[in-house]
Structure 1
Amino acid sequence: MERVVITGNEAVSRGFWEAGGTIASSYPGSPTVSILESMKSYKDIYAEWGTNEKVAMEIAIGGSISGARSIVSMKHVGINIASDPFMTFTQVRTKGGFLLVVGDDPGLSSSQNEQDSRFWGKYANIPVLDPSTPQEVKDYVIEGLKISEDFNTPVLIRLTSRLCHCRGVVELGERKEYPISGFEPDQSRYCMLPPYANAAQHFMKERIEKLQAYNNSYENNKLESNNSSVLVITSSMCYENLKEINAPVDILKLAMVWPLPLDYIKSLSSQYEKVIILEETLGFIEEELKANNIKVEGKKYFPFTGELSIEIIRKGLKEAGVMDFEYKDPTSDTSVPRTPMLCAGCPHRPIFHILKKIKATVIGDIGCYSLGILEPFEVHKTNISMGASLGMALGVAKAQSMSGNKKPIVATIGDGTFFHSGMTGFLQLASCKENITVIVMDNRTTAMTGGQVTPTTSKYFKEYENHGVSVHEVIESFGIKDITVVDQFKYKETKEAITEAMKRDGLSVIVATRPCALNFKIKEPHFYVDEKTCIGCRSCIQTNCPPISMKLYEGKTKKNSYIDPDMCVGCSVCSQVCPVGAIKRSTGEE
């Protein structure tokens, strides 16, 4: 049997293919982006990005009710968007196997909050599988589809950022074809209106009870004995880190963390002097066991937030009296942190530079442009969720107006977020009388997550040439008239358009049209600094473009600006903000 080294995300795709999976959908969000990207390499699978997580969920639901094995993947906050169809679909007796793969982000490495998706299992009355290695990821995907069909239930597979991106040895198998039976109308099964939905509540109760009985003897739950009086109950990456420290404990590694195998754990825990729950983020397992009168400890020793590293686990077990060792604080790392930075030639940079110069009050949104929060721009004053900038801008403007404050409000939103969840916000703003300027930063891609397509991508990729949508035409269709389309690399014109828009009452929209420099590999002849003309004022440095730095030229006593020609993509913004014309475009001879 062939064995390969692949990531946890790639293992999801492989397992789905081997299990005869057919319909795959997703919305890009770290840490699960590469699940769908790798899914596209399998010709037997229809894989498509949804406009948002709700649409992606609905695509997979449609596949499932047609008898096709289906999967939808997203990051943890995506379930918030998809929960409307999902929470009703969990009442349906599932036909084709249905998997919801979620990437949690303990430690918030790329997220605005830290959710624990295991709670969705309890909330939605569905099973949750919690793998710990890429091999288990593949195996649990195959097993999850079988459970889904055997128990007529959606199945949630919970990954974490570490597991999504880590690599491990995985055994490859052959694809097992699964015939698609087709959609058969059955209103009592698929129409969740009373009285059908009332009956479904009883079905869900019976289903979760059957799953709990199944989990009491589930072969993938593993007990490892070290002849200890202490039992640690754990799952996922916590198990892998626990194994690294050779703790003198017995280990119960759970594969299915909801519904819990309560009868088995009750019987097992009675044999130990102490039972410790090792789990990241919230005390999901601990709380449930305590509610069922099983004496356990957990969050007493381990933090409620962040990843549980090897050192943190050691420290917790020491506090629990299980281990004795010298603790090293993992936060004492002396490495110098690197501040996230917009790419060279990023079209967001001139917008942020302008907004900072005019001291605008800016309500921000989610995407690459979230970096507008950080130094040196610090223009975004909020960052809540995708599409939130529009409704929040209206709320802020209304509140200010009622208090007598007429200061204009600016909101930013990207093209990906516009289509994901921004159009409804624009509809709300269409009749707005307050002074609000919305800047749509249409860079033709979902850039933050790797450059996935948006409906405005068509101009740059031939395969999407029939998939072109104009942002400003969509906004016009809402009845909004005050729309200005700009090329933000024409710095002075863009600055004038924004400042004039902010002077007008009511809603003004600026659509900035420069595409992502990184994704579309756009490069013009580079710029250079004429050190004889440069006065060292650092106006160009304030644009925060990576190729620009200060350098002490030969024969000088004071540093002047310098542009690295290998990094410069020729966007020209630095030359436009230079007050003395010291920055010039190269001719190939410099």
Structure 2
Amino acid sequence: MLTKNILTGNEAISRGFYEAGGLVASSYPGSPTVSILDSMRSYNEIYAEWGTNEKVAIEISMGASIGGARSIVSMKHVGINIASDPFMTFTQIKTKGGFLLVVGDDPGLTSSQNEQDSRFWGKFANIPILDPSTPQEAKEAVKEGLKLSEEFNTPVMIRLTSRLCHARGIVELEDRIEHIPEGFVEDQSRYCMLPPFANAAQHFMKERMVKLEQYNNININNKLESKGSSTLIITSSLCYENLKEIDTNVDILKLAMVWPLPIDYIKTLSEKYERLIVIEETLGFIEDELKIRGLNVEGKVYFPFTGEITVESIKIGLKDANILDIEMPLIEKEYAVRRTPMLCSGCPHRPIFHILKMAKATVIGDIGCYSLGIQEPFEVHKTNISMGASLGMALGIVKAQNLSGNKKPIVATIGDGTFFHSGMTGFLQLSSSKENITVIVMDNRTTAMTGGQITPTTSEYFKDLGTHSVNIPKVLNSFGIEDVTVVDQFKYNETKKEILDAIKRDGLSVIVTTRPCALNFKVKEPHFYVDSSVCISCRNCIKTNCPPISMKLYKGKEKKNSYIDPSSCVGCSVCSQVCPVGAIKRSNIEK
């Protein structure tokens, strides 16, 4: 029975996979696509699993596809970089069960360290790319993609952006149609990509792309909106929705599949127009392809190559292109009070950053909640590149410093999620090094930055998960790393001594912190308060950057003293340990 519901773009992807008879879903958590797998788990018919990293996640779904099951893997744009090794070979085989790669691009770098345009990966991989513009279209793209995957024996990419992932819209819900997998059928010529099989696969891919282009030339999902204009705007995704917010008297071609492009169709269509303009996020992918094919098109000369393509930026671009004859109003910016991103109350990373800042250590950072160590007031991380990069970079920096005569020790940080994602290979590299490097593994038992997904150490706290727990110190010992110290960072002075001693020791030393994520594990202890009669306003507690702590002018005082908001204090005790005069005391009130 057909019903309707309001879903996000991510939820619509999950719903489409369910309705299409999807069976196996995998992912690695990363914004903006993290909730695809989260919502997939509400469907009992789908096996949904987090991969250790994007490479493992895509391999799970690849195997399911080879076994004949309709499968899907989702990740953010930088995840393709990790998954590209198996993916770029998997695209050569004749796909069996329908296979979808759903990728979330992040125009404007809302929650990412770079701004990639994943459409170029799709072209590189010789696979079709669907580019929906609404949650309803996202759901339909899943069904269309699985059909194309099985009809043309190809993986299919569905490209989303942050705005569409989180946008809500009305989605029609339909019943599930089952697709029973045949199971794995041995066929070395199909699944073993070594010469001569891989050589033949190159010709197969070329033929496949020719057929897909022919299909796209008559694709009914590509929509032409004609107003009798002499200008045609070619667009897709949310750019189309934003364009429709503007009263323009131009014809619009909205593409559902942006690779391979329907070149013959566009060429024939272009004969009716004096101008062709492309509006797309972020780079000039469609524009450049059409120019290569000899079409006179415009695009990025009017529209930004970075950030989101908004209604305002489209208006400005169309005005510059002499399509819109409007006066752009002078808009006074309304400045909202900025809230600097900060670690949560009771976050176990905070005492580590406080210690490292006091030590004036050179710290090589990594990707996770602890990336906020870059921000004020800590400012301890001096690099932030990619997941797991801190370890190899620390080694490289030390080698470079040695060549310059600089013997200053280096500290690197890495989280438990990143340790398993891409840190173990870095540790193997370090294990044979004699350089003075200290690595702090910040094990908070979860992938906290993306919403608290599990890691291999999570079940140490959540026994009911039924999963085994991996002991990080034992893993490091198995690599031949002997100098491994486990600390409770809420025992501030003990942790400080261990870190400072480790930095002074020659060779590789590792500190493993053990306090769990305060938010995910609901850490609650009796709160602390400030005895204003004792406080000397030294602000040592303020420097821990804990949200409940501020300065307040108490009654009868001439200058401000520290104050702790009892409603948000979780009782971690770090502030009381850094107070030199004992002014911060624990209450007797249970939370």
Query: TM-score, with normalisation over the residues of structure 1?
Result: 0.99
Separation in structure 2 between the aligned mates of residue 184 and residue 465 of structure 1, nearest angstrom: 33
**Do the aligned partners of residues 2 and 329 (structure 1) sit closer, same or farther apart at CA in structure 2, a change above 3 Å counting?**
farther
Residue 589 of structure 1 and its aligned partner are, at CA, apart by: 9.3
Tell me if structure 1 keeps the 8 A contact 2:525–2:590: no
How does 1:183-194 map onto structure 2 within 5 Å?
A: 183-194=184-195
Tell me if structure 1 keeps the 8 A contact 2:109–2:307: yes
Separation in structure 2 between the aligned mates of residue 3 and residue 442 of structure 1, nearest angstrom: 43
Tell me if structure 2 keeps the 8 A contact 1:311–1:328: no
Residue 401 of structure 1 and its aligned partner are, at CA, apart by: 1.1
CA deviation string 1:502-529 (max 9, x = no partner) = 1111100000110000000011100000
Counterpart in the other structure of 1:143:
144
Separation in structure 2 between the aligned mates of residue 48 and residue 88 of structure 1, nearest angstrom: 23
How does 1:99-498 map onto structure 2 within 5 Å?
A: 99-328=100-329, 332-498=333-499
Question: Any idea what SS the aligned residue of 1:109 has?
Answer: coil
Does 1:21 pair with 2:22? yes
Question: Any idea what SS the aligned residue of 2:398 has?
Answer: helix
Question: Any idea what SS the aligned residue of 2:538 has?
Answer: coil
Residue 588 of structure 1 and its aligned partner are, at CA, apart by: 2.0
Counterpart in the other structure of 1:534:
535
Tell me if structure 2 keeps the 8 A contact 1:311–1:330: no
Separation in structure 2 between the aligned mates of residue 516 and residue 76 of structure 1, nearest angstrom: 26
Tell me if structure 2 keeps the 8 A contact 1:501–1:508: yes
Tell me if structure 2 keeps the 8 A contact 1:31–1:105: yes
Counterpart in the other structure of 1:522:
523
Question: Any idea what SS the aligned residue of 1:159 has?
Answer: strand
Separation in structure 2 between the aligned mates of residue 378 and residue 330 of structure 1, nearest angstrom: 35
Residue 23 of structure 1 and its aligned partner are, at CA, apart by: 0.4
**Do the aligned partners of residues 318 and 342 (structure 1) sit closer, same or farther apart at CA in structure 2, a change above 3 Å counting?**
same
| Structure 1 gap ranges (5+) | none
Separation in structure 1 between the aligned mates of residue 49 and residue 583 of structure 2, nearest angstrom: 48
Residue 120 of structure 1 and its aligned partner are, at CA, apart by: 1.2
Residue 431 of structure 1 and its aligned partner are, at CA, apart by: 1.2
Separation in structure 2 between the aligned mates of residue 478 and residue 326 of structure 1, nearest angstrom: 66
**Do the aligned partners of residues 573 and 329 (structure 1) sit closer, same or farther apart at CA in structure 2, a change above 3 Å counting?**
farther
Question: Any idea what SS the aligned residue of 2:244 has?
Answer: helix
Separation in structure 2 between the aligned mates of residue 465 and residue 237 of structure 1, nearest angstrom: 41
Question: Could you tell me which amino acid in structure 1 is paired with residue 503 of structure 2?
Answer: M
Residue 432 of structure 1 and its aligned partner are, at CA, apart by: 1.0
Tell me if structure 1 keeps the 8 A contact 2:526–2:590: no
**Do the aligned partners of residues 328 and 506 (structure 1) sit closer, same or farther apart at CA in structure 2, a change above 3 Å counting?**
farther
**Do the aligned partners of residues 465 and 326 (structure 1) sit closer, same or farther apart at CA in structure 2, a change above 3 Å counting?**
same
Counterpart in the other structure of 2:56:
55
Does 1:575 pair with 2:576? yes
Question: Any idea what SS the aligned residue of 1:244 has?
Answer: coil
Question: Any idea what SS the aligned residue of 2:529 has?
Answer: strand
Counterpart in the other structure of 1:584:
585
Q: Which moved more, 1:59-68 or 1:267-276?
A: 267-276
Q: Which moved more, 1:443-452 or 1:267-276?
A: 267-276
CA deviation string 1:21-54 (max 9, x = no partner) = 0000000000000000000000000000000000
Separation in structure 1 between the aligned mates of residue 112 and residue 356 of structure 2, nearest angstrom: 25
**Do the aligned partners of residues 174 and 274 (structure 1) sit closer, same or farther apart at CA in structure 2, a change above 3 Å counting?**
same
- RMSD of Structure 2 on Structure 1 (CA): 1.1
**Do the aligned partners of residues 78 and 331 (structure 1) sit closer, same or farther apart at CA in structure 2, a change above 3 Å counting?**
farther
Question: Could you tell me which amino acid in structure 2 is paired with residue 355 of structure 1?
Answer: L
Residue 462 of structure 1 and its aligned partner are, at CA, apart by: 2.7
Residue 331 of structure 1 and its aligned partner are, at CA, apart by: 9.2
Separation in structure 2 between the aligned mates of residue 298 and residue 336 of structure 1, nearest angstrom: 35
Separation in structure 2 between the aligned mates of residue 45 and residue 347 of structure 1, nearest angstrom: 35
CA deviation string 1:317-353 (max 9, x = no partner) = 0000000223257893422222101000000000000
Tell me if structure 1 keeps the 8 A contact 2:10–2:35: yes
Identical-pair percentage = 76
Separation in structure 2 between the aligned mates of residue 75 and residue 463 of structure 1, nearest angstrom: 29
Length, aligned pairs only: 590
Separation in structure 1 between the aligned mates of residue 406 and residue 279 of structure 2, nearest angstrom: 52
**Do the aligned partners of residues 475 and 329 (structure 1) sit closer, same or farther apart at CA in structure 2, a change above 3 Å counting?**
farther
Q: Which moved more, 1:227-236 or 1:42-51?
A: 227-236
CA deviation string 1:87-140 (max 9, x = no partner) = 000000000000000000000000000000011121010000000000000001
Separation in structure 2 between the aligned mates of residue 574 and residue 177 of structure 1, nearest angstrom: 57
Q: Which moved more, 1:15-24 or 1:401-410?
A: 401-410
Tell me if structure 2 keeps the 8 A contact 1:33–1:449: yes
Separation in structure 2 between the aligned mates of residue 513 and residue 272 of structure 1, nearest angstrom: 65
Residue 556 of structure 1 and its aligned partner are, at CA, apart by: 1.0
Separation in structure 1 between the aligned mates of residue 62 and residue 22 of structure 2, nearest angstrom: 13
Counterpart in the other structure of 2:556:
555
**Do the aligned partners of residues 32 and 330 (structure 1) sit closer, same or farther apart at CA in structure 2, a change above 3 Å counting?**
farther
Residue 464 of structure 1 and its aligned partner are, at CA, apart by: 2.6
CA deviation string 1:413-471 (max 9, x = no partner) = 00000000000000000011111000000000000000000000012213334420111
Counterpart in the other structure of 1:565:
566
Q: Which moved more, 1:325-334 or 1:499-508?
A: 325-334
CA deviation string 1:58-98 (max 9, x = no partner) = 00000000000000000000000000000000000000000
**Do the aligned partners of residues 144 and 436 (structure 1) sit closer, same or farther apart at CA in structure 2, a change above 3 Å counting?**
same
Question: Could you tell me which amino acid in structure 2 is paired with residue 537 of structure 1?
Answer: C
Question: Could you tell me which amino acid in structure 1 is paired with residue 305 of structure 2?
Answer: F
Question: Could you tell me which amino acid in structure 1 is paired with residue 448 of structure 2?
Answer: A
Question: Could you tell me which amino acid in structure 1 is paired with residue 338 of structure 2?
Answer: P
Separation in structure 1 between the aligned mates of residue 520 and residue 330 of structure 2, nearest angstrom: 40
Tell me if structure 1 keeps the 8 A contact 2:65–2:99: yes
Separation in structure 2 between the aligned mates of residue 465 and residue 86 of structure 1, nearest angstrom: 31
Counterpart in the other structure of 1:508:
509
CA deviation string 1:343-380 (max 9, x = no partner) = 00000000000000010000000000000001010000
Question: Any idea what SS the aligned residue of 1:332 has?
Answer: coil
**Do the aligned partners of residues 519 and 589 (structure 1) sit closer, same or farther apart at CA in structure 2, a change above 3 Å counting?**
closer
Residue 274 of structure 1 and its aligned partner are, at CA, apart by: 0.9
Question: Could you tell me which amino acid in structure 1 is paired with residue 312 of structure 2?
Answer: E
Tell me if structure 1 keeps the 8 A contact 2:95–2:155: yes
| Consecutive aligned runs of 4 or more in structure 1 exceeding 6 Å deviation | none
Separation in structure 2 between the aligned mates of residue 24 and residue 463 of structure 1, nearest angstrom: 23
Tell me if structure 2 keeps the 8 A contact 1:344–1:517: yes
